[in-house]
Amino acid sequence: MKGILLISHGPLAEGMLKTAEIFFGENIPQMKAVVLNTQDDPEDFRGRLQEAVKEVDTGEGVLVFADLLGGTPCNQSAFVLNEQITVLTGMNLPMVMECLGLRMGGEISTDTLEETAKTGIVNFNKMLEEKKKAGRSRRRSKEETAE
């Protein structure tokens, strides 16, 4: 099973992990969060990241979700990269949840995770308005055919 690391500025990664535990149960195997706080030295963060990689990797590799492309957590992940470690940036909850679901099925596609991250961003107000318009249009269409 592929290991999963969530890395972020501040407690975002820990919050993602805690939220995932609501859906997948506490103590999700081979999954950890590593956070960079304002007082942390980037090299210390790198050391914690390297240690976390060792903890979650059982030989099948590690998928690292970083909060921000170009941010310190992401940049420090470059020091632990190898062919068994993949880093995806722009971490959001839909992609983390999708990853856990795919991992349960045995196969994780990073292309699918990227797509899930993008489609998980929706202007909810706009979506509701479009649904209202579609509903009104269907009602009018039914009324016209009934006449």
Average model confidence (pLDDT) across the chain: 94
Say if CB 136 and CB 142 are below 8 A apart: no
Q: In angstroms, how far is the first alpha carbon of the chain from the final one?
A: 61
**Interacting residues of 122 by C-beta distance below 8 A, sequence separation 6+:** none
Domains of the chain by residue range? 3-121
Say if CB 65 and CB 96 are below 8 A apart: yes
Q: Which of 6-10, 32-36, 82-86 comes out lowest in average pLDDT?
A: 82-86
pLDDT tens digits along 34-83: 999 999 999 999 999 999 999 999 999 999 999 999 999 999 999 998 98
In the chain, the amino acid numbered 113 is L
**Looking at residue 96, what is its pLDDT?**
98
CATH T-level assignment (fold) for domain 3-121: Rossmann fold (3.40.50)
Count the alpha carbons within 13 Å of 62 in the hemisphere toward its beta carbon.
28
